[in-house]
Amino acid sequence: MTGSSEPFLTAGGEPRLQRSAVLFLDLLGVRHMSRSEQAAQHLAAITRAISGSYRDFLRPDSSWPAALFSDAFVLAVPIERPEDEHAAVLGLITQAALLQLELAGQGLFVRGGLALGQFHIHNGLIFGAALVDAYELESEHAVHPRVILDKAADDCQRKSADGGPGRLEGEQGSMLLCDDDGWTFIDYLAVLFDEPDDPRPRLRAHRDTLIAKLRQHAGDRRLWEKYRWVAEYHNCVVADRLPDEAALFVEQSQITWRFRSFARSK
């Protein structure tokens, strides 16, 4: 497995498709932010999150092929040998989780897809079935601010070390969760529990950001519902990892639908 752009070129320098793991992310609310009076501050926050994160994916010498355009971000890992496929998908899951965590720290949440297939990226040109598949996962199936895996990537991670299907052991399953609708998505908060630092401060900040977003978008049910889902996910992680830390939960009152009497609705 390599991250250089060379796998996407022939020996003669012509563009070619390469089997790759491809991540497509759409930043939630960027269109609204672009039109707001704080557009410059929002741009700075997005730049800090993507260019100043764990890895600077947008540097010209980055070993991770990437592209950023409008409110979308694409990241890829070329796969040169079949035996490298699992490591490529796992590596991209890890990078996606770290990036989601960094974005959330800036108050930015994403929806996305991770797919396996043919792909090309070089000199700003991106192309291929894996890109289309990842985009369709984001636009048609993710629905909530989550990054979901296509069947090929999901199956790849379900294979145990001896090649048997159906089990997730250790690292393979540590950053994945399954939603009630059947989609496997990236559990980015799991990163906090793989680090030596106490996860509570960042979980508290994550909770506070979500409460602020829920209040901010209380009048826009479409956006409010997206943040409500993230709050449910946050609470699920806290309940599983820190069940005695009730103060870290997003309170139920913040994520409960409100109803009014018809007689008093005017």
Structural element, H or E, at residue 124: none
Residue 8 pLDDT greater than 80, yes or no? yes
Tell me the pLDDT tens digit for each residue of 38-87: 777 777 777 776 666 556 677 777 778 888 777 789 999 999 999 999 99
Find the DSSP H helices in the chain. Answer: 30-35, 39-51, 85-105, 129-136, 151-158, 200-216, 221-241
Residue 2 pLDDT greater than 60, yes or no? no
**pLDDT in the model for residue 4:** 45
> Which class for 24: exposed (0-12), middle (13-18), buried (19 or more C-beta within 10 A)?
buried
In this prediction, residue 100 has a pLDDT band, given cuts at 50, 70 and 90, of: very high
Mean pLDDT (whole number) for 91-104: 92
> What is the 3 state secondary structure string of 1-63?
CCCCCHHHECCCCCECCEEEEEEEEEECCHHHHHHCCCHHHHHHHHHHHHHCCCCCCCCCCCC
Residue 164 pLDDT greater than 60, yes or no? no
Tell me the pLDDT tens digit for each residue of 210-248: 999 999 999 889 999 999 999 999 999 999 999 999 999
**pLDDT in the model for residue 68:** 79
**pLDDT in the model for residue 77:** 95
**pLDDT in the model for residue 106:** 84
Token pair of 75, please? Answer: 């990241």
**pLDDT in the model for residue 59:** 73
**pLDDT in the model for residue 265:** 66
> Which class for 20: exposed (0-12), middle (13-18), buried (19 or more C-beta within 10 A)?
buried
Token pair of 112, please? Answer: 């996305």
pTM of the model as a whole: 0.87
**pLDDT in the model for residue 55:** 62
Q: Please tell me whether residue 163 adopts helix, strand or coil conformation.
A: coil
The pLDDT > 70 percentage for the chain reads: 88
In this prediction, residue 137 has a pLDDT band, given cuts at 50, 70 and 90, of: very high
